Homo-oligomer: A and B are copies of this chain.
Amino acid sequence: MKKKRYEKLADDIAELIHIGVLQAGERAPSIRSACASWDVSPATVFKAYYLLESRGLIQARAKSGYYVLPQSKATVFTSNAVTTPSEKSAVAMNTPTIVQVSDLVFSLLESVRDRRIVPLGSAFPDPALFPVQRLAKSAAHVLRFVQPETLVTDMPLGVLELRRQIAQRYALADVLLSPDEVMITTGAMEALNLCLQAVTRPGDYVAIESPAFYASLQVLERLQLKAVEIPVGAQGMDIDLLQQALAQYPVKACWLMSSFQNPTGASLSDVKKQQLVELLTAQHIPLIEDDVYHELYFGNVAPRPAKHFDHDGWVMHCSSFSKCLAPGYRVGWVSAGRFSQQVQRLKLMTTISPSIPAQAALADYLQHGGYDRHLRKLRQHLQQQYQAMVQAIQRHFPADTQISAPDGGYFLWLTLNPAINSLSLFQQALAAGISIAPGPMFSASQQFANCIRLNYGAVKLEEIEPAIQRLAGLINAAE
């Protein structure tokens, strides 16, 4: 039998309650707005609401309308089946190699969001390390004075005061830039994407690190670029091998992390940074410098970015506040040298601008919030965590484990016995309540099967020892 109009309407509203769009205590749409929305008469709405009342889903309150009642899930009536995205067929991605990496990456990201899992595999630092309340104070303060038209006028490059503050930080690292040479982006990730896109076309070769940050592999895949993988040692990318590769392939860009590389933690020395910039400049190859861990150094002095050695604008320097101050604000930046205009245009075609209020809040914090004090505390904390994790590994892991020795950041890179398969270890560790980042995530050619990346900045100090011990148990059992 065909349903009556008011029955269908009642079913629709029951569905809204069922899927959580209307929640207990909320007011149901007024008769007037329900008439307009569903294009029905007031009588139909009344009948539908009467039916919903009889089903115990809503309740009338005098002179105030209808309100949703609390439900036990089992008693909710539904007629339309609303499929959730997970039930729908996913569209597969391009080449088999990268599908594997991407699936791995996404299942890792998924596990990191599960609060019951110890997030040693996370790419994020512990959110509790950041001055969230102080940032909120800055946001509240600055938004009271924001001029409506700045929301539009600040759009192309970003909030001027924020760019000025960033130029000051550059000066501290011995890079002279005017605020107009800085463009704000939605995190460093957008900056890196825009830079790579500005200087390549599908099919081009790009020199990257091996191992590399997995997101760079995904971006290459997305833009249909070919990866020329250059090994990274304890002193960062091997510049001699890069030079050989440049002789062999028509490389259109080089993308690397110059300091505290993800995943190895390795940094290039000043001498090597200069050598790198000179090599690339001579061949007119742009360098995309991912420098997101720049502020997280353990020594007394900030490392110089490769950008310091750039006199002809071939270095596109990308960074963000996500690792050192404000994850979730999604505010990064790029100083793209001679490619500035093109990168700016690409941004205007894709995201236009990151949130202006978020930028204004950060600008206020950088001026008045005590950023340097926060950074000193953060660096000290990460160094302490680093030492605790290295000591725990030395205590519990097999003797043949090789541990990287970063001077900053929050990642350790471990090379385990060749018999260990880090992908299996990833699954076992997850089952044991710990996430790790397995080596093959960081390689277009699926190398580093016996390597893992551990994050010492994502957990509490007291969690390190037991988690490492549990992980060691799995490794010892596998060897």
Binding site for B on A (CB under 8 A): 12, 15-16, 19-23, 29, 33, 36-39, 80, 82-86, 88-91, 93, 102, 106, 109, 112-113, 115, 124, 127-128, 130, 132-133, 135-136, 139-140, 143-144, 146, 148-156, 164, 167-168, 170-174, 176-181, 186-187, 189-190, 193, 197-199, 202, 215, 218-219, 222, 224, 300-302, 313, 327-331, 337-342, 344-346, 348-358, 361, 372
Contact = CB atoms under 8 A, between A and B. Distances in A.
Given A109-B156, A144-B133, A176-B15, A89 B355 contact: no
Query: Which of A39, A139, A154, A341 has the largest number of chain B CB atoms within 10 A?
Result: A139
Contacts of A128: 148-149
B174 A85 contact: no
B132 A338 contact: no
Given A113-B153, A329-B357, A341 B193 contact: no
Given A148-B128, A328-B154, A171 B345 contact: no
A90 B337 CA distance: 10
B352 A354 contact: no
Contacts of A22: 168, 171
B352 A37 contact: no
Contacts of A143: 135-136, 139-140
Contact of A148 (B37, B130, B140, B329): B130
Nearest to A458: B152
Given A16-B167, A109-B348, A113-B152, 4 more contacts: A136-B144, A150-B328, A215-B349, A357-B358
Contact of A102 (B148, B329, B345, B351): B345
A87 to B, nearest CB: 10
Nearest to A221: B349
B88 A178 contact: no
9 contacts: A12-B171, A19-B167, A82-B178, A82-B181, A127-B152, A136-B146, A189-B352, A330-B351, A330-B354
Query: Which of A143, A176, A181, A328 has the largest number of chain B CB atoms within 10 A?
Result: A328
A152 B109 contact: no
A167 B350 CA distance: 25
A178 B132 contact: no
A37 B102 contact: no
